[in-house]
Structure formats: structure tokens, C-alpha cells
């Protein structure tokens, strides 16, 4: 199959709708990462997502909607009662935007989307291209990140092409993703808002809005209880070369290695060093993380080393992605790095 890449335009959106209505797949930009979309209420179309990605069918998908209105989603059979009150406030405040809500599954949602769960993940993305596509198609789109299963999520159209060339008919090109990491996933066990996947909308922002502490519960948060999100495998978002997270900032560069620094005050850096955030802003680091991992990985180095992430509200999200992508940690000992593989469970 020939994969075409078209910039977002009225014509390419129409083309995308035509392909989607035939039950086929279209990759499209969102503010977080690129999604691999299919008609979310059509089981045979959803099935194709799992095939193209090589993703196990036990991993549930997010339904993307054009409207921020949860009442409308309920009327359309996407979600059902009881809809927690906190979720309504979260939707009102953060949608359209990088937030996914786990709510009771509506009657129209096929099991292929939820992997048999009685809850469904929903989100209203803010990217203009995504908005235009969702408005034009007039139905929810199921969309995981548009990468092969277990690989780095794509943050531009060329990364999608690298991942899925020949496997899908169309990629809508809407430029580089603003946020650069996947949406914050929030569920409501016993009406207690809980973050299953940290993202750019932070626990602090959610807690402040709700006046109620929002816990982070995923494998990479040591204080948390075990994750209840089936897709939250410890090994995820991984480059092909082994990635080691350094326990202290990188100061020397090794031949045959690639190095990802958080920040550097040095005027010049070698070609095999990359800077996550030239302006020392965690949002900028998130924006660049997957892109730089991809660039470093493309050199097929012996290993990739990445700096520690300085504390901030966004640090849990960045640390979560780095932990999942990494093989282990690097400890500076006696003038060199000792690489320590981690037990992955």
C-alpha cells in the first residue's frame, strides 16, 4: 500500500473522511502526539488499528470527539451514567486539550475499543487539524499514538511515516505537536480522581481545580498503588538502542554513544549530544523528548544516555516516559558510567 502524506486542507480532510468511511485508517495530528484514527464505533475499522500497529487487543483505545460536551457524548451512546461530577468540571476546564477521561462505557462503543472493559477513554483534542477532521467526520475516532506497538510516539508526520509507511493509506500533516507527550489519563475509581498516565495537565493543576488531591497511580510512581490501566506496560515508548537514564548530569561525551542533555550552558556541543530544553523549561523538554530520542536512535549508537529531569510539576510525566523507554540507569563511578539494566516487570 502506498502511504500518502498531505498537509491539512479542506481537500485532504475530505479525502481523510472518505478513507475513514470505508473503514480504513488515517493518521492525524493532535496537540500531544500523532494519532492513528479509525471510525471508533465500527468494530472492523478498529480492528485494523491493532493490525497496523501490531498492538495486542488487550490494550484499550481512546475515543476522540469534536465536542467538549459530556452530555452530548452520553446522548450519542459514547459514555453512560454515572458520570462523575469531577469529570464534568475537568472536561469544561481542560477540553479541548491534552486530557483523557475514563468514564462508564456507552452502549454504542464496541468491545474492540475498550478491550472488554466497562469503561471507555474519551478525549477532545485541541489541535486545529484534529478538530477539523472530527467535525467533518461527525463521529468519534478511535486513535492510539501512530507508532508501531512499543515504539516511540510520533510527534511529526515524518515520524509517522517512519513507523507506518506502507501500512496505512494517508497521513495528515499538521506540523510538529505542541505538547510532544501523550495526554494525561484520569480515571475515577470510587469517585476519586486518579491519574493513570501523567501528562502536560499535571496532578497539581487537577488537584487545585477540584480542591481534592489527585493521586498519580502508575508503575513509574513509587508511592502509587499498581496501575489499573491495561496499556501501562513498563516497557513502552522504547527506542531500538538501549536508553539509560543518568543519575547525575552528563558532563563527558562517549564515542559510539548518543547523549540527551536537559540543558547545556556550553557554547558548542558535539554532534552526538542533543539538548531537551535550550530555555530550561519542562514544557519545552516534553515537546522535544520523543523527537530527540528518534534522532539519537537513528544513529544506531551503542547506547543513549539521558540527563536526570529536574523537579517541576511536569517532571512525573517526563520521568514516566523516560523510565518506560529506558533499559536501566547509568551511574557515574570512578570517572566513567556504569550501566545498570533494570528488571522489567
Which residues in this chain contact ligand TXA in the complex, by CB under 6 A?
A: 30, 32-33, 35, 59-62, 100, 102, 114, 117, 119-121, 123, 143-145, 182-183, 185, 187, 196-197, 229-232
Establish how many alpha carbons lie within 13 A of residue 294's alpha carbon, considering only the half-sphere containing its beta carbon: 19
The closest residue (CB) to Mg ion is 145
Q: Quick one: what does residue 33 bind among ligand TXA, Mg ion, none, with the CB cut-off 5 to 8 Å set by partner type?
A: ligand TXA
100 binds Mg ion (CB under 5 A): no
Q: Choose among Mg ion, ligand TXA, none what residue 277 binds, the Cβ cut-off being 5 to 8 Å by kind.
A: none
Q: By Cβ distance, which residue is nearest to ligand TXA?
A: 231
**CA-only gyration radius of the chain, Å:** 20
Q: With H, G, I as helix, E, B as strand and everything else as coil, classify residue 300.
A: coil
Q: Which of ligand TXA, Mg ion, none binds 120 (CB below 5-8 Å, type-dependent)?
A: ligand TXA
What does 283 bind: Mg ion, ligand TXA, none (CB cut-off 5 to 8 Å by kind)?
Answer: none
Q: Among residues 19 and 160, whose Cβ is nearest to ligand TXA? A: 160
d(CA 160, CA 26): 11
Cα 297 to Cα 293: distance, rounded to the nearest angstrom: 6
Distance of CA 7 to the CA centre of its chain: 22
What does 326 interact with, of Mg ion, ligand TXA, none (CB < 5 to 8 A by kind)? none
> Interacting stretch for Mg ion, rule CB under 5 A, among 77-85, 123-131, 141-149, 331-339?
141-149
Which has the closest alpha carbon to 40: 54, 60, 68? Answer: 60
Buried b / exposed e over 310-342, threshold 16 CB at 10 Å, is: eeeebbbbbbbbbbbbbbbbbeeeeeebebeee
Neighbour-count burial of 118, counting CB atoms closer than 10 A to its CB (0-12 exposed, 13-18 middle, 19+ buried)? exposed
Applying CB under 5 A, the span of 144-152, 190-198, 256-264, 328-336 interacting with Mg ion comes to 144-152
Residue nearer to Mg ion on the CB measure, 49 or 139? 49
| Listed ranges 22-30, 138-146, 173-181, 190-198: which one lies at the site for Mg ion (CB under 5 A) | 138-146
Give the count of beta carbons closer than 10 Å to the beta carbon of residue 254: 15
- Beta partners for 333? 336
What's the CA gap between 71 and 106, in Å, rounded? 12
Binding site partner of 42, from ligand TXA, Mg ion, none, Cβ cut-off 5-8 A by kind: none
Residue 145 engages Mg ion in binding (rule: CB under 5 A):
yes
229 lies in the site for Mg ion, by CB under 5 A: no
Say whether residue 87 binds Mg ion (CB under 5 A): no
Residue ranges binding Mg ion (CB under 5 A): 145
Amino acid at each position: 500500500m502506498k502511504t500518502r502524506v498531505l498537509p491539512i486542507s479542506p481537500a485532504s480532510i475530505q479525502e481523510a473522511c472518505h478513507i475513514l468511511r470505508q473503514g480504513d485508517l488515517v493518521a492525524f495530528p493532535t496537540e500531544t502526539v500523532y494519532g492513528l484514527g479509525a471510525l471508533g464505533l465500527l468494530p472492523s475499522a478498529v480492528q485494523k488499528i491493532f493490525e497496523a500497529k501490531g498492538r495486542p487487543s488487550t490494550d484499550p483505545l481512546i475515543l476522540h470527539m469534536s465536542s467538549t460536551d459530556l452530555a452530548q457524548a452520553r446522548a450519542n451512546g459514547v459514555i453512560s451514567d454515572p458520570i462523575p461530577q469531577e469529570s464534568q468540571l475537568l472536561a469544561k476546564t481542560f477540553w479541548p486539550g491534552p486530557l483523557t477521561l475514563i468514564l462508564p462505557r456507552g452502549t454504542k462503543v464496541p468491545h474492540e475499543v475498550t478491550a472488554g472493559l466497562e469503561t471507555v477513554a474519551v478525549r477532545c483534542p485541541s489541535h486545529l487539524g484534529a478538530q477539523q477532521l472530527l467535525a467533518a467526520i461527525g463521529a468519534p475516532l478511535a486513535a492510539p499514538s501512530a507508532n508501531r506497538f512499543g515504539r516511540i510516539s510520533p510527534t511529526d508526520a515524518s515520524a509517522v511515516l517512519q513507523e507506518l509507511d506502507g501500512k496505512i493509506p494517508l497521513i495528515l500533516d499538521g506540523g510538529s505537536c505542541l505538547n510532544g507527550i501523550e495526554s494525561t489519563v484520569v480515571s475515577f475509581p470510587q469517585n476519586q480522581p486518579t491519574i493513570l498516565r501523567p501528562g502536560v495537565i499535571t496532578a497539581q493543576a487537577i488537584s487545585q481545580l477540584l480542591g481534592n488531591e489527585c493521586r498519580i497511580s502508575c508503575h513509574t510512581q513509587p508511592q502509587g498503588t499498581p496501575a489499573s490501566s491495561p496499556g501501562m506496560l513498563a516497557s513502552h515508548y522504547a527506542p531500538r538502542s538501549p536508553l539509560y537514564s543518568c543519575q547525575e548530569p552528563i558532563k563527558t561525551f562517549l564515542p559510539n554513544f548518543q547523549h540527551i542533555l536537559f540543558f547545556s550552558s556550553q557554547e558548542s556541543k558535539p554532534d552526538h549530544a542533543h539538548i531537551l530544553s535550550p530555555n530550561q523549561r519542562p514544557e519545552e523538554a516534553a515537546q522535544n523528548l520523543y523527537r530527540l530520542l528518534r534522532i539519537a536512535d537513528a544513529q544506531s549508537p551503542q547506547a543513549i544516555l539521558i540527563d536526570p529531569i529536574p523537579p517541576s510539576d511536569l517532571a512525573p510525566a517526563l520521568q514516566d516516559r523516560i523510565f518506560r523507554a529506558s533499559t536501566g540507569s547509568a551511574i557515574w563511578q570512578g570517572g566513567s558510567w556504569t550501566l545498570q539494566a533494570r528488571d522489567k516487570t
